[in-house]
A and B are shown apart, each in its own frame.
Chain A
């Protein structure tokens, strides 16, 4: 089965700086990848996703990069703000898809702290 790992359990950055959170996955057949943000006491919230036919996708202040050669995924957050403090999870869709169900395998999460 798929396994997903993160390089750093915690990351601390200065407000206004850019942050990069990394993730590695094991299955080269994986096709769909998602980043979630989880604030304290809340459920994970969708940030951005990317399919394997793309290398890069941009959202508002966030960019996801996918390197299929080394099975690596990263989330870049530009000009970090205090509201970006949260735990960030990468999730990988586990093939094969059964009857359309999307089974996601989650990494362990990186806690991002924004220092004033």
Chain B
């Protein structure tokens, strides 16, 4: 079982560039989430989705956009990357209780 798959695993961006992080889940989960993980700060919720075609803001949404066009995919976009967005990004999915996490995308903005 693949579970939750994130692509890419690593990326280096220059300030001002844009990119999209892809999250795909094969468990038919209704709910999907994007978190960022920074040293000493745990995981913070960026955006989440309660179903296909719906998205909502989390704790730290500024500078990010998301889309959920298909139930199995949840995309996180950075329109104009900033050094403050250097982080490890985790996608998760759930169906009621508990999350299944992907293995993360390490993003560096220089």
Interface size for B (C-beta < 8 A) is: 30
Known pairs A34-B98, A100-B30, A102-B94; A44 contacts B43 (CB<8 A): yes
Within 8 A of A (CB), among B87-105: 90, 92, 94, 96-104
Check if A49 sits within 8 Å of B98, measured CB to CB.
yes
Interface of B is mostly: strand
Partner of B31, one of A43, A100, A108: A100
> Considering the chains assembled together, what is the distance between the CA atoms of A108 and B39 in angstroms?
8
Known pairs A42-B103, A43-B103, A108-B40; A98 contacts B97 (CB<8 A): no
Name the residue on A nearest B44 (C-beta).
A106
Name the residue on B nearest A103 (C-beta).
B45
> CB-CB contacts of B19-52 with A at 8 A, as 1s and 0s?
0000000000011010100001111110011110
